[in-house]
Amino acid sequence: MLDSTKWAFDVGTDWGNAQLEFDTDRPENASLDGQGHLAIVARAEPYQNRLYTSARITTKDRFEPTYGRIEARMQLPWGQGIWPAFWMLGANIDDIGWPACGEIDIMEYRGQEPTKIAGSLHGPGYSGAQPVTQNFQIANDRFDTGFHVFAVEWSADEIRWYVNETLYQTVRPADVPGEWVYNHSFYIILNLAVGGNYVGPPNSSTVFPQTMLVDYVRVYEAAP
């Protein structure tokens, strides 16, 4: 199962984005699939006054890197209102709040758009619906039909976004309309949301359960 020295579950609901699921630590929502992958599963079921369940895992207080290459190999789900994400928050969030802590979205995806992902930054003056962001459209493929590698390479004065080793966005301090808040440690989050501001709610076309398969998450320390 999860390496508890690195990962823990966030248990709860509505993390500030009007999401509809309750995130649990149950094996029904996060477990190994028997083929070496972590399966994060969103289900349509009543639970804790919500109509859906899923899981959200984080390295907060356990593993909080500063700089390097952060990557994951994943197969994404598909369907209206399904919102998987691979992202990072500043480890000082409890002290100074969001967005002052900074947020690095390595991969964010609308389930109704299976050929497109986004990479974004949220910080003071450019957060919520106005991030610094760029889409990546995959050619002749879909993100729900196989595994793809999503990564950032992060240094003191530059963050680069990749899909399958294709560089599609580079952001430097001069490119953000506010403070550059990426010079400290961050923790990693993987989650599969249902509904929310970014994707809207599921509809009659959305099939459940929905599964995000994670082959690996790797962090490479920056060379000195």
Q: Which residues are catalytic?
A: 103, 108
pLDDT confidence of 2, banded at 50, 70, 90?
confident
Cα 88 from Cα 209, distance rounded (Å)? 26
pLDDT confidence of 222, banded at 50, 70, 90?
confident
CATH number, domain with residue 165: 2.60.120.200
Give 211's contacts (C-beta < 8 A, 6+ positions apart).
39, 40, 41, 42, 77, 192
- Per-chain mean pLDDT for the chain: 97
Q: Taking 80 as the threshold, does the pLDDT of residue 166 lie above it?
A: yes
Selection from 57, 178, 65, 61 nearest residue 128 by Cα: 178
Residue 213: give the domain boundaries: 28-220
13 belongs to a structural domain? no
Cα 190 from Cα 55, distance rounded (Å)? 8
Q: How many domains does the chain have?
A: 1
12 belongs to a structural domain? no
Asked if residue 194 lies in contact with residue 202, where contact means CB atoms within 8 angstroms, the answer is: yes
Share of the chain above pLDDT 90, in %: 96
Kindly report which listed range (74-78, 120-124, 209-213, 219-223) carries the lowest average pLDDT score. Answer: 219-223
Cα 26 from Cα 14, distance rounded (Å)? 18
19 belongs to a structural domain? no
Q: What is the pLDDT of residue 83?
A: 98
Q: Taking 80 as the threshold, does the pLDDT of residue 185 lie above it?
A: yes
- Tell me how far CA of residue 111 lies from CA of 19, 28, 76, 139, 224, in angstroms: 14, 21, 8, 17, 39
pLDDT digits (tens, 9 = 90+) for 46-91: 999 999 999 999 999 999 999 999 999 999 999 999 999 999 999 9
